[in-house]
Amino acid sequence: MKKILYIPSTMEGGVYYYRAYTPMKSLVELYPDEFDVTINNNYTFNDMQKDEIGKNFDLVIFHNCLFIAQYQEEVWKTILYCKKTYGTKFILDLDDFWIYGKYHPYNEVCQFNGFPEKMMINFKLFDYVTTTTEYFKEVISDYFPKDKIYVFENAIDLDDEQFDSFKYNSDLIRFGMTGGSSHVNDIKCLMGFWKHLSSKILNKIQIVLCGYDLSAEKKIIDENGKVTDTQIIEEKDNWWYQTEQAIITGVGKDHYKRIETKNINKGEYGQIYRDIDVLLAPLMNTKFNNCKSELKIIEAGFTSTLPMCSKVIPYSNFVTDETAVLVKDNTPEGWAKQITKIVNNWDKYNEMADKNNEYVKEKRDLKHVTQKRKEFFEEILK
């Protein structure tokens, strides 16, 4: 039996759920006699733990492997030590581009912590890289040998009950936004689309803002990247509050609904789609966004929700004309035109949501991706 250690960048949220928890859980459930998996991000990487890792695990997977200051150096020393002393193999699992770009709200954090430079060192230390899409694989291949990069798509277990097709009843067609504050500039692509809708269309729709969270914090860090203080952002300065006020002003309280943050690891998050008929997924055309996966389309598919998304690479490379609406004119007016078409031809577009359900479940069933992982792990650990 091969023993695997997965070290996630976080133990919560969608990143953990899709890249660590469900893939590793599926691997053990489907192949219990072949793999023993531990998920843990609490290592301090002292000398004793370096030996524990080397002795106890055949394979170690790091998600992103980007840390602050001294901690990053200890991780690198651990990788070198375990490879030399025990022959341990290491995989770098990447689901985001490591250069955020000027339009990403956390670009300053990215640059301050030297993520681009640290990733170049990572590429020299890891044996393999795994990622989410063929496009991102091509981007990574400019920095890492292409024959050692493997694609394991984001996927959902068909038995995951939170992502079912059940919808709550509504007399309105519900257009939902699920992107958080990291998508502040992406959502600007469509904000104000209601100004370009007729009163007839406005009366038939509801805007649903999901993940609403006023507990956002601002972290104060010193020159070494250490957090020295945490401040709660005031309501008036919170992105969620500002976005909500703009929507209410535009469509009215009777045509707006707020859904608070829901925990995906407790089986709650997927239930937000029960209040959404059409998923609004705007993205700016940036290199960072092009390297993202089609995860929103997958969630929409499993929940029989119609995806309406910007015509950018992660979406346009995956969807078909029969399963999603691609918005070519990525402006508020362009989004309004597409929304008008959907409302005026709802029966047709509602059928597209069902087709997306069939399409995505065939393409992104976690069991299929787990089989790919199993075959890859067998090959590199034989």
Per-residue pLDDT tens digits for 59-96 = 999 999 999 878 899 999 999 999 999 999 999 999 99
Please give the average pLDDT of every successive group of 10 residues along the chain, which has 382 residues: 96 94 98 97 89 96 91 95 97 97 88 93 98 98 98 97 96 92 89 97 97 75 64 82 95 96 94 97 97 97 98 96 97 98 97 96 97 98 92
Can you give the pLDDT at residue 348?
96
Establish whether domains 2-155+365-381 and 173-363 are of one fold: yes
CA dist 376 and 363 (Å) reads 19
Overall pTM > 0.85: yes
> CB neighbours of 58 closer than 8 A, spacing ≥ 6?
2, 3, 4, 88, 89, 381
The string over 15-46, giving b where at least 16 C-beta atoms fall within 10 Å of a residue's C-beta and e elsewhere, is bbbbbbbbbbbbbeeebeeebbbebeeebebe
The architecture (CATH level 2) of 173-363 comes to 3-Layer(aba) Sandwich (3.40)
What does the domain layout of the chain look like in residue ranges? 2-155+365-381, 173-363
Query: Which residue type sits at 304?
Result: S
Q: Are 159 and 138 in contact (CB under 8 A)?
A: no
Can you give the pLDDT at residue 68?
82
Encode pLDDT of 39-58 as tens digits.
998 888 888 899 999 999 99
Encode pLDDT of 179-212 as tens digits.
777 888 999 999 999 999 999 999 999 999 999 9
- 2-155+365-381 has which fold? Rossmann fold (3.40.50)
